[in-house]
Amino acid sequence: MNVQVTIGTKIYKLELNQKYTVVIGDSGTGKTTLARLIDDGYADVQVDRDMGYLALINTLHPEEYPSTLNRGKKVFPWHNRVVFIDETCSLLFDKYFHKGLIKSDCFFVIFCRSSLVGLPLGLDNLYTLARTNEGIVLKHVEDQRNSVRKL
């Protein structure tokens, strides 16, 4: 599953190998801004398989979400979409979030540094957003490991 996010001349490519992909990075590299631009419709998002997408950057209390996550059913209201979730969204820290994610038919891109309950991280599903001489660059962690190996 490939996702391409274009903002102006800048292109960010993500390969979603698993149900969830986590993007980490230093403060000020633009994780929340990227989610906000997707949410506001300023970013052109292209997703394989004609899936839809949405971004969650809200700071709503989980009880305000239009989901049944907190009523014991642990189910998300979205289907067949790529869901971008920023760390400002309290849903991420809901103790049932991982259960809802596993049951869901969506793919998730999570902008968050904190470890999330029940969602282990591996090299397959970890990206970093970093400041470089070429501006802000999104890189797959495995790519970075390969470049270190070459050195």
Partner 1 sequence: MMTIKRIPEIEDLGPHNYKYIWSSTPALRYVTQLISAEEIFSKPDVDDAIHRIDGNKTIAPGVYQSNALGLISWEQISGGAKGCALITVAGDPRVGKFNWEFNSGIWGDNCLPVLAEFSHRYDFTVIPQHTFDFARYRDLNFSACTAEGIPLKSLRDLVNYWILGRILE
Q: Is 71 in the site for partner 1 (CB under 8 A)?
A: no
Measured CA angle at 142 (ends 90, 117), to 5 deg = 25
Binding partner 1 (rule: CB under 8 A), the pick from 33, 39, 54, 141 is 33
User: Is there a contact between 15 and 107 (Cβ–Cβ < 8 Å)?
Assistant: no
Measured CA angle at 126 (ends 57, 109), to 5 deg = 30
Q: Is 29 in the site for partner 1 (CB under 8 A)?
A: yes
Binding partner 1 (rule: CB under 8 A), the pick from 54, 62, 137, 139 is 62
> Whose Cβ is closer to partner 1: residue 52's or residue 118's?
118
Specify which residues 136 forms β-bridges with. Answer: 131
> Whose Cβ is closer to partner 1: residue 1's or residue 33's?
33
Binding mask 79-118 for partner 1 (x = CB under 8 A): --------xxxx-xxxx----------------xxxx-x-
Contacts 24+ apart (CB under 8 A), 68-76: 69/94, 69/96, 69/97, 69/100, 70/94, 70/96, 74/99, 74/100, 74/103, 75/100, 75/103, 75/104, 76/100, 76/101, 76/103, 76/104, 76/106
Binding partner 1 (rule: CB under 8 A), the pick from 16, 25, 84, 119 is 25
> Whose Cβ is closer to partner 1: residue 13's or residue 95's?
95
Q: Is 144 in the site for partner 1 (CB under 8 A)?
A: no
Residues at the site binding partner 1, with contacts judged by CB under 8 A? 25-30, 32-33, 59, 61-62, 70, 87-90, 92-95, 112-115, 117, 136
